[in-house]
């Protein structure tokens, strides 16, 4: 990639910004000028709200409006107001926009009716006067008992029986993970504005404008031109604004259409927690055959994910989870069986990592237990099994390039002094063990005069398939455009969204670098489906790699075309004159399959991903022996992202993802009662504060991908895969118990310590 | 309804609102100061942090009857010390340079908490800074770059 670091503004702060430009929309965000959805003003707009079910499963018999109330002050929308299809466009279209009378309510927060009024107070007064008449049906909450299967996969190769037969040791383990909320600080929000031609524009907080666009066309019966989606400044997404915005956009649009005025649909935190998608809970079972030297010879893995009430993106989440479930380790005999089922809980959906954090937590923890059983260092067992160049994965994919697993592992172990610290912790644990009672447990905690805290260090390693799974990119056929405007500016037109990760900043850098001009002369077009092409969804850490690659290719073509008109003189010298003389030049670049990358969706054989990113994480914790509380003190994160496009933004992705993983490991938990989330407020669903967050050091590794012109492989999701197993490994290093169900709450740690006291010699079955 | 007078970012304002109307709604809806954000509406996230007589408060928890005669400072008032109009003050500049703002929705509240910390004489010690911003949730950054930015300002290493 040519040097893109030609700067004007920002150059004065080169030391701190390391020569890279500051975040492009940063000044607007820092001054309060940036306009998020709820900051937008539309004169005459009404406020919308959603009437939801309060039962996990029921037949809807009637929607009754209290006759004593004057309903002329509000607009009421039910399923009968839907002129197009009453289905939200998705992989399997099973979710109604609003449950019709006679239809089945399938979860606690299911939308049944919509209200709009001039102010929020009117809505508050009238909401309780809508009554849902229902006939209860038997709900299903156990994903293993559910007979409705959303998706099922079996992946594998080799001879499992022969693998186990030849193994020195066979070890089994079961691991469980619960829901996790994305908890973007800006709630889901959408404002619908009716157009005179019968069309509808929505302004909102979203990741994927063309998902919303498609949903509007289908349900509202609009043409492509009549449906318009405009992204407002977006206050975080993490997957939580991938598919859900379609629902809220449709709801706002239905109210706007019926009322003939703009309608604001701004969720409060409680509604956002109750109704929007979460990370899929999962149960993962491992049976592993291993040789005494640590070599993996057989892996039998079973995964069950809880999809919730509707399919959403579950088949793809499950697919990614299954494909990553063996971890970044070679094993000749593998069987991975995965299924996702329906339960009567709110639908689960996309969340950073997309199925992989669940299954990689299980694999990493299981591998650590194997290492313990073999009396081998967690680093050593990884060194012996981790993928190298030309190794083959369970789908038969040969890793032909960009395999940095050993490198990230080595760097993380060295930078954290993992072996030395671990030896010290082991010695401290041994000293505690030979205390007054010889074992951990309540009695030793009561009587020991020793330190009330124990320190532990833990290691985890992960791989993360870059971009879409399988043939996803080929099916989507994304387009990105680069234009030299008649005013002599270069403009990037993409449907990819900035939601904090840095798209607005790195794209001008990439294009300017290719054109040999300063990044400040390159503009980003606003994300508005009336102007930007469908570049695919802003998900799967694919934006920098895939869409960035398209923009670089488009810029190359633009450069060639303009230079050809000026006897081959450099673009930078001639583009202003060219714009004046020739008018605008626009290049639309469509995705072409990466050479040599083939996947068979039917058999699940072939190249599941064009390339993989690799991450290692070493985490230090302190466990309070009296309370079981875990404090995460220090993190060394090492991530191979292919190519670092902007080190500060890239580190920001690693640090933020790591803390989300630490939250997942320690405090983030949804408790359910009869299918309803009990802790559905920010006072009860906790995420890490600055005091909970550890000191973090990030090391970036570059093993470029030859299929992308700049070599980038994406970064967003990588850190999410390694944080939780590293925390659990560190807890074990501190107090010698394995936590197999996330989060590792004080209650679970105390319970495990008590079990250990009862049963001091406790291995895995 | 009653007339309530107070100073916002140095400007005197008077609003005629119910005494229990939230300061957050008056700032955002009556005065058009949408830099202050709502994240949870129950005092947990700190996105709506403003300074009330110099102390950090959650504007979602402050009824207007408590604001009469007092001094309110919001993110829009931070840059008054900037060297040029539309510029950034030293704290905002540090956030920009260090990459302390990502999605930006927690940023206004975070800046106000950091401003209060610095105004109270807070130094560059990371643990003290973390304590000072513990009431402000950020889901993007992992806080490391926020702490680094505030520490650099406290140490006098950033020029606006």
**Mutation site for A-interface testing, chosen from B24, B104, B126 by largest number of A Cβ within 10 Å:** B104
Q: Is B88 in the A-facing interface, judged by CB distances under 8 Å?
A: yes
**Pairwise CB contact (< 8 Å): A36 & B37:** yes
Cβ distance A30 to B42 less than 8 Å, yes or no, reads no
Mean pLDDT for the stretch of residues B64-83: 90
Interval A177-200 mean pLDDT: 97
Which token pair is B50? 């403003």
> Could B96 and A22 be called an inter-chain contact, meaning their C-beta atoms sit closer than 8 Å?
yes
Q: Is-contact A440 A756, C-beta < 8 A?
A: yes
Rounded to 5°, the CA angle A182-A183-A188 comes to 95
pLDDT above 80: residue A503: yes
CA dihedral A444, A445, A450, A456 (to 10 degrees): 110
- When pLDDT is averaged across residues A478-504 and rounded to a whole number, the result is 97
| Residues A349-391 pLDDT 10s | 999 999 999 999 999 999 999 999 999 999 999 999 999 999 9
A595 at interface of B, judged by CB pairs closer than 8 A: no
- Average pLDDT score over chain A: 94
How many CB atoms neighbour CB A747 within 10 A?
9
- Total beta-carbon pairs less than 8 A apart between chain A and chain B: 176
Give percent of chain A above pLDDT 70. Answer: 95
Cis ω for the linkage preceding A743 (within 30 of 0): yes
What integer pLDDT is reported at residue B160 of this predicted model?
65
Q: What is the pLDDT of residues B17-33, one digit of tens each?
A: 999 999 999 999 999 99
Least confident residue range of A1-10, A260-269, A421-430, B46-55: A1-10
Closest-CA residue in chain B for A30?
Answer: B92
Measure CB to CB from residue A233 to each of B104, B140, B141 and give the nearest one: B104
Under 8 Å between Cβ of A620 and A446? no
pLDDT at residue A448 greater than cutoff 90 = no
Q: Does B35 touch chain A (CB under 8 A)?
A: yes
Give the 3-state secondary structure of residue A39: helix
When pLDDT is cut at 50, 70 and 90, the band that residue B83 belongs to is low
Statement: residue B99 has pLDDT above 70: yes
Distance CA B26, CA B38 (A): 12
Taking CB atoms and an 8 Å limit, are B88 and A16 in contact across chains?
A: no
Residue with tokens 């450069």: A559
Is the ipTM, as predicted for this complex, more than 0.95? yes
Residues of B in contact with A13 (CB under 8 A): 97
Q: Which of residues 148-167 of A touch B (CB under 8 A)?
A: none
Q: Give the H or E element holding residue A475.
A: helix A472-476
Model confidence pLDDT, tens digit, residues A547-594? 999 999 999 999 999 999 999 999 999 999 999 999 999 999 999 999
Residues in CB range of A591: below 8 A, 6 or more apart: A473, A474, A476, A477, A478, A479, A536, A546, A550
- State in Å, rounded, how far the first CA of chain B is from the last one: 42
Query: Per-residue confidence at A15, pLDDT binned at 50, 70, 90?
Result: low
pLDDT bracket for residue A291 (50, 70, 90) = very high
A626-641 per-position pLDDT tens digit = 999 999 999 999 999 9
pLDDT of residue A436: 52
Interface contact flag, A683 B104, Cβ < 8 Å = no
B142:A693 CB<8 A: yes
Contact A269 B41 (CB under 8 A): yes
Cβ separation of B107 and A29 shorter than 8 Å?
yes
Cβ A500–B104 below 8 Å, yes or no? yes
Chain B 55-84, residues with CB within 8 Å of chain A CB atoms: 74-76, 78-79
Residue B125, chain A, CB below 8 Å: the answer is no
Cα–chain center distance at B120: 14
A36 touches chain B (CB under 8 A): yes
In this structure, the number of other CB atoms found within 10 A of the CB of residue A141 comes to 15
Does residue B82 carry a pLDDT above 70? no
Cβ of B38 under 8 Å from any chain A Cβ? yes
Q: Are A551 and A510 in contact (CB under 8 A)?
A: yes
Q: Average pLDDT, stretch A222-237? A: 98
Angstrom distance (rounded) from CA A192 to CA A217: 14
In A638-657, the residues whose Cβ lies within 8 Å of chain B are: 648-649, 651-652, 655-657
Mutation target for B interface from A185, A241, A267, A722: give the one with most B CBs within 10 A: A185
Q: Checking DSSP bridges between strand A263-266 and strand A189-194, what pairing results, if any?
A: antiparallel
Task: Say how far apart CA A130 and CA A69 lie, in whole Å.
Answer: 10
- Looking at residue A433, what is its pLDDT? 78
Residues β-bridged to residue A676: A673
Distance CA A38, CA A263 (A): 12
Say which of A27, A236, A683 has its CB closest to residue B140.
Answer: A236
CB contact under 8 A, B35 and A233: no
A631 — contact with chain B (CB < 8 Å)? Answer: no
Interface test with B, best of A12, A20, A23, A30 (most B CBs within 10 A): A30
> Which chain A residues touch B126 with a CB distance below 8 Å?
695
Which residues numbered 429-468 in A keep a CB inside 8 Å of some CB on B? none
3-state secondary structure of A488: coil
The answer to whether residue B114 neighbours chain A at the CB level (below 8 Å) is no
For residues A481 and A589, the answer to whether their CB atoms sit within 8 Å is: yes
Are A31 and B35 inside 8 Å of each other by CB? Answer: yes
Per-residue model confidence (pLDDT) at position A763: 40
* Per-residue model confidence (pLDDT) at position B135: 98
User: pTM to 2 decimals?
Assistant: 0.96
Mean pLDDT score, B115-120: 98
Q: Do A690 and B44 touch (CB under 8 A)?
A: no
């Amino acid at each position: 990639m040519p040097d893109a670091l030609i700067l004007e503004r920002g150059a004065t702060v080169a030391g701190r910004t390391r020569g890279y430009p500051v975040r492009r929309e940063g000044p607007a965000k820092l001054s309060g000028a940036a306009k998020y959805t709820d900051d937008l003003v539309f004169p005459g707009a009404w406020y919308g709200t959603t009437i939801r079910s309060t039962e996990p499963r029921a037949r809807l018999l009637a929607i009754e409006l209290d006759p004593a109330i004057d309903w002329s002050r509000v607009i009421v929308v039910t399923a009968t107001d839907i002129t197009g299809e009453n289905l939200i466009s998705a992989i399997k279209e099973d979710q109604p926009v609003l449950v019709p009378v006679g239809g089945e309510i399938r979860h606690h927060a299911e939308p049944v009716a919509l209200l709009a009024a001039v102010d929020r107070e009117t809505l508050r007064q009238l909401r309780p006067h809508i009554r849902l008449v229902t006939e209860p049906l038997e709900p299903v909450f156990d994903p293993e008992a559910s007979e409705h299967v959303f998706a099922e996969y079996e992946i594998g190769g080799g001879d499992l029986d022969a693998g186990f037969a030849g193994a020195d040791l066979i070890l089994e383990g079961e691991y469980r993970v619960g829901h996790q909320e994305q908890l973007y600080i800006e709630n889901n929000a959408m404002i619908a504005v009716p157009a005179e031609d019968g069309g509808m524009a929505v302004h909102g907080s979203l990741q994927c404008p063309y998902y919303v666009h498609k949903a509007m066309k289908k349900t509202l019966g609009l043409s492509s031109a009549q449906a318009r989606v405009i992204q407002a400044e977006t206050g975080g997404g993490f997957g939580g604004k991938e598919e859900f915005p379609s629902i809220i956009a449709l709801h706002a649009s239905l109210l706007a259409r019926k009322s003939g005025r703009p309608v604001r649909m701004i969720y409060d935190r409680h509604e956002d927690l109750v109704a929007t998608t979460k990370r899929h809970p999962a149960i993962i079972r491992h049976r592993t055959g291993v040789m005494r030297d640590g070599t993996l010879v057989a892996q039998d893995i079973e995964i069950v994910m809880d999809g919730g009430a509707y399919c959403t993106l579950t088949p793809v989440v499950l697919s990614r989870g299954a494909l990553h479930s063996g971890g970044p380790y070679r094993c000749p005999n593998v069987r991975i069986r995965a299924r996702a089922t329906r339960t009567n809980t709110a639908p689960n959906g996309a969340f950073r990592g997309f199925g992989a954090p669940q299954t990689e937590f299980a694999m990493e923890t299981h591998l650590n237990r194997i290492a313990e059983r073999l009396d081998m260092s967690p680093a050593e067992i990884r060194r012996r099994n981790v993928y190298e160049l030309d190794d083959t994965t369970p789908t038969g994919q040969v890793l032909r390039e960009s395999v940095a697993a050993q490198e990230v592992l080595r760097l993380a172990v060295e930078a954290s002094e993992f072996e030395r610290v671990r030896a010290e912790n082991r010695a401290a644990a041994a000293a505690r063990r030979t205390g007054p009672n010889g074992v951990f447990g309540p009695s030793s905690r009561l009587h020991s005069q020793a330190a009330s805290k124990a320190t532990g260090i833990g290691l985890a390693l992960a791989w993360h398939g870059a971009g879409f799974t399988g043939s996803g990119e080929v099916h989507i056929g994304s387009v990105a455009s680069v234009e030299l405007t008649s005013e002599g500016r270069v403009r990037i037109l993409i449907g990819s969204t900035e939601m904090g990760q840095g798209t607005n900043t790195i794209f001008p850098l990439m294009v300017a670098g290719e054109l040999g001009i300063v990044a400040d002369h390159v503009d980003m077009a606003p994300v508005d489906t009336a102007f930007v092409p469908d570049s695919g969804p802003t998900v799967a850490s694919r934006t920098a790699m895939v869409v960035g690659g398209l923009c670089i290719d488009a810029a190359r073509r633009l450069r060639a075309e303009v230079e050809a008109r000026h006897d081959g003189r450099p673009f930078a010298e001639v583009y202003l004159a060219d714009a004046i003389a020739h008018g605008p030049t626009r290049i639309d670049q469509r995705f072409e399959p990466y050479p040599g990358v083939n996947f068979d969706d039917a058999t699940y054989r072939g190249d599941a991903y064009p390339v993989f990113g690799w991450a290692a994480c070493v985490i230090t914790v302190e466990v309070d022996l009296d309370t079981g509380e875990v404090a995460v003190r220090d993190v060394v994160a090492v991530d191979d992202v292919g190519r670092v496009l902007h080190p500060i933004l890239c580190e920001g992705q690693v640090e933020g993802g790591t803390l989300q993983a630490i939250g997942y490991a320690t405090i983030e938990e949804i408790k359910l009662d009869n299918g309803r989330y009990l802790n559905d407020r920010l006072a009860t669903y906790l995420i890490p504060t600055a005091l909970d967050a550890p000191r973090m050091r990030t090391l970036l590794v570059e093993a470029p991908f030859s299929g992308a012109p700049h070599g980038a492989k994406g970064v967003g999701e990588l850190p999410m895969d390694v944080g939780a197993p590293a925390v659990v490994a560190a807890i074990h290093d501190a107090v010698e118990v394995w936590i197999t169900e996330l989060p590792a709450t004080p209650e679970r740690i105390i319970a495990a310590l008590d079990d250990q006291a009862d049963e001091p010699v406790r291995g895995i079955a | 309804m009653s007339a309530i007078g107070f100073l916002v970012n140095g400007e005197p304002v008077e609003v005629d609102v119910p005494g229990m109307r939230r300061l957050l709604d008056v700032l955002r809806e009556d005065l058009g100061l949408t830099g202050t954000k709502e994240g949870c509406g129950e005092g947990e996230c700190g996105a709506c942090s403003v300074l009330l007589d110099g102390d950090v408060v959650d504007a979602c928890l402050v009824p207007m009857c408590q604001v009469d005669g007092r001094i309110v400072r919001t993110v829009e008032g931070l840059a008054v010390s900037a060297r040029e109009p539309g510029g950034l003050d030293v704290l905002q500049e540090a956030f920009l340079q260090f990459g302390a703002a990502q999605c930006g929705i927690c940023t206004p509240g975070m800046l106000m908490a950091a401003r209060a910390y610095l105004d109270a004489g807070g130094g560059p010690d990371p643990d003290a800074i973390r304590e000072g911003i513990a009431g402000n949730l950020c889901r993007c950054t992992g806080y490391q770059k926020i702490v680094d930015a505030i520490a650099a300002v406290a140490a006098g290493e950033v020029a606006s």
